[in-house]
């Protein structure tokens, strides 16, 4: 097999890169070890930044997003028993859109399959040679394959094969807590996202559709999901999200799980002709809603660089790809760390630290400058075109 760009991983990063390259006339083959059904069903992030939505529209894959997505013009910081709204659109002129990551993936898969472009699911034994470059794998029928290419895009996550091929520096930070997340068949209890600071720990109220709510609780990193029956989850959410005039809507819990929180950045984000994007290169705690949006920003920059290479022979954008992406990555890492530190209860926190957190929250709630800084980062910084 021969192609111009081999893309390992059919998450939002790999699929969006393949689509952007197709629009620019660059051939690509996408490889994914999971089945199509698994990829389309796995629940991940659900907040799309303004630049992400704009890019999906420019790329012609936002039809269902525009029909079913839920635009939000603010978020609530809940503390001291009340909501303190950060008016995103009033402060920045931009908004966010709630639309599940798996829905973005479904849209991109449908577009690629509909165009008859190569997208291979259930491959195994994938190996990558960054220098040649060459990708070998076994296809779904059990036949060994060799995929020769000009470049490899590693979009297969932090546990994939591509990240291990980069001889760089990995900066990592583990947080002393995790999130217990649930997907519930219940209407949202509030029109916007609620970030709740509480003495028992952080809680987040989000949503996926007008009928499905996504909720999170701060728990210990070693928490066992078996110790959290549905009644305990709803009771704890009710305590942490309590506020005057607020009623928490409940319903059957469809999914639940515990996710550890960590930060990770690989520098550089490339090795020879292998370029990393998304979780293969960096991970952020979910508090700032940056994970999928960073992945989309990465592949936009990579598609631009590959387009310049094939169209006019330019190599400078490929050579500076890592540096350009890492500026945005570290900004997002800092914002996510800041939001996490401000809202969560550390296991060893004393009264001094808790009063510092409340002082910061009250400052954001009462200072237009502080609220604007949060809003600007939350809605997403513009792509450097």
Catalytic residues: 72, 195, 286, 290, 378
As a dihedral over the C-alpha atoms of residue 298, residue 327, residue 374, residue 77, rounded to 10 degrees, the angle is 60
Query: Which 3 state secondary structure label does DSSP give 57?
Result: helix
Give, as one character, the DSSP assignment of residue 260.
Answer: E
Q: How far apart are CA 44 and CA 63, in angstroms?
A: 21
Length of the chain (residues) = 385
In the sheet that holds 203-207, the strands lie side by side as 82-86, 75-79, 194-196, 203-207, 213-219, 169-184, 253-267, 282-283
Query: Which 3 state secondary structure label does DSSP give 238?
Result: helix
Q: Cite the beta strand spans of the chain per DSSP E.
A: 5-8, 28-31, 47-48, 70-72, 75-79, 82-86, 96-98, 119-120, 124-129, 134-138, 144-148, 151-154, 169-184, 194-196, 203-207, 213-219, 253-267, 270-271, 274-276, 282-283
Per DSSP, what are the bridge partners of residue 279? none
């Amino acid at each position: 097999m021969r192609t111009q760009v081999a893309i390992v991983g059919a998450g939002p990063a790999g699929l969006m890169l393949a689509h952007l390259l197709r629009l620019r006339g660059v051939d690509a083959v996408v490889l994914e070890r999971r089945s199509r059904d698994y990829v389309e069903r796995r629940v991940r992030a659900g907040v799309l930044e303004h630049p992400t939505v704009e890019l999906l529209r420019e790329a012609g894959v936002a039809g269902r997003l525009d029909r079913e997505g839920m635009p939000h013009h603010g978020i609530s910081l809940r503390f001291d028993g009340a909501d303190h709204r950060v008016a995103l659109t009033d402060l920045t002129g931009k908004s966010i859109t709630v639309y599940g990551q798996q829905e973005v993936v479904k849209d991109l898969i449908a577009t690629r399959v509909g165009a008859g472009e190569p997208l291979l699911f259930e491959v195994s034994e994938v190996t990558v040679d960054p220098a040649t470059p060459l990708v070998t794998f076994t296809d779904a029928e059990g036949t060994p394959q060799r995929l020769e290419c000009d470049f490899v895009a590693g979009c297969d996550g932090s546990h994939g094969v591509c990240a291990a091929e980069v001889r760089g520096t990995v900066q990592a930070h583990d947080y002393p807590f995790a999130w217990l997340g649930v997907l519930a068949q219940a209407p949202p209890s509030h029109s916007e996202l609620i970030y709740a600071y509480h003495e028992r720990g952080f809680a987040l109220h989000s949503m996926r559709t007008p009928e499905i709510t996504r909720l999170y609780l701060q728990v210990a990193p070693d928490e066992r999901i078996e110790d959290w029956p549905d009644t305990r989850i709803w009771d704890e959410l009710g305590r942490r999200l309590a506020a005057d005039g607020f009623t928490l809507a409940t319903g059957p819990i469809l999914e639940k799980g515990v996710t550890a929180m960590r930060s990770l950045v690989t520098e550089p984000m490339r090795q020879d002709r292998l370029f990393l994007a998304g979780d293969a290169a960096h991970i952020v705690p979910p508090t700032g809603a940056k994970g999928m949006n960073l992945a989309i920003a990465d592949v936009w920059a990579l598609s631009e660089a590959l387009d310049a290479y094939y169209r006019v022979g330019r190599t400078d954008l490929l050579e500076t790809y890592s540096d350009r992406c890492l500026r945005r990555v570290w900004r997002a890492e800092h914002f996510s760390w800041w939001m996490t530190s401000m809202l969560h209860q550390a296991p060893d926190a004393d009264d001094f630290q808790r009063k510092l957190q409340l002082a910061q929250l009250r400052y954001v709630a009462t200072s237009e400058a502080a609220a604007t800084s949060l809003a600007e980062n939350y809605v997403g910084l513009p792509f450097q075109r």
